[in-house]
Amino acid sequence: MHLYFSNAKRLTPIACWYNLSMTNAPFTYELLATDATTGARAGVFHTPHGDIPTPMFMPVGTQATVKALDPDDLHAMPAPVILSNTYHLALRPGPEVIAQAGGLHRFMAWDGAILTDSGGFQVFSLGPQRTVDDDGVTFRSLHDGSIHRFTPERVIEIEEMLGADIIMPLDECLALPATADDLRRALDRTHRWLERAVAAKRRPDQALFGIVQGGTDPALRREGARFVGSLGLPGVALGGLSVGEDKPSMYATVATTTPHCPADRPRYLMGVGSPEDLWECVARGIDLFDCVLPARVARHGGLYTPAGRVSIKGAKWRDHHAPLDPTCDCATCRRFTAAYLHHLHRVGELLWHRLATTHNLHFILRQMRVMRAAILDGTFADKLGAFREAYRPASTERAAAQRAKFAQQRGG
């Protein structure tokens, strides 16, 4: 086991590997440093498909592909881990097809690490087209209307066929605000489902994380974190956030929860990925993130810059014959001008999606590298202050309108 002694802003390992008994496989977490004035942490999560330096953002490849990109694009960023979705892959092409291909890594020609979500959030977003009971979830496919059933055991069975490195159990995710009774019911049900998932898991080369629910209720979040931590799983995830609450409430909930998560395991905040949320939640002790946002806003004309998100649709970019962000070293900014990107988006060329997604994911991953380096050299608080001063987040009203628009587009 790793033991650590405090040395101002660093935690120094003084013993051997921490190897979690639940995995019987090379999943180990090495905590390298913490920030002296915030909860920010830097570490490494070792997996069979490579090391994941933390904090880290995981690009989302819902359908076994990060939209518009191929594995070489992702390696060039670099992205050591990506996320795929059990719900979507269970419907199309089906887990049997992927298992016959040799698993998700071979199916999508990706040799890095993969995390598969259970699909709990996607089922929640189906609204009246799904029914939740104590045994599991019954839902109707948006593709062909067929009826499907997810139980904790079935989700683990599907994820073992998919073969990702990190797998998530079925949980119950509620929209916020929610009543105290509903939050308690969802928390208890998620805990019972997690116990069933642990009992059903067979593959030793996959790391099962537990999910903490509880809405924005501090007591429920503390209870959930302690329960998940007591099971000895190799990681802890915070679910049920960025589902209707405001940002201050989300940040407060993260700050309430992380001190009750095991310090010797990675902490994963599910479905959160705007630049300001990444910085603020790393400061509150989160190690891993995922979100469709960088690729989604790219498809709709949004591009990240150090000063905030801009829309390439603006007429001011038509004659801007220079990179959109002269400080950016992504493949898009090195080769193409903002005027060209404006043209591509305006005429609907497919190349726009590739170039914009490349830029946004590179921007996010670069932010993660800046954060990690600052934690390691003891300057994180200064860098956080500089980010807050320079970056202008999208307005809360605009963000809420966009979430509603995207939800309507996906039918959820």
**Which residues participate in catalysis according to the annotation?**
117, 290
Q: How far apart are CA 395 and CA 128, in angstroms?
A: 30
Beta-carbon contacts of residue 39 (< 8 Å; ≥ 6 apart):
255, 258, 259, 283, 284, 285
The two tokens of residue 334 are 């090195």
Q: How far apart are CA 358 and CA 118, in angstroms?
A: 26
Cis-peptide, bond into residue 93, ω within 30° of zero: yes
131 touches 147 (CB < 8 A): no
Q: How far apart are CA 326 and CA 257, in angstroms?
A: 39
**Interior/surface letters 137-149, b for 16+ CB within 10 angstroms, e for the rest:** bbbeeeeeeeeee
For 18, 43, 204, 234, 368, the CA distances from 34, given in Å and listed in that order, are 18, 9, 30, 19, 15
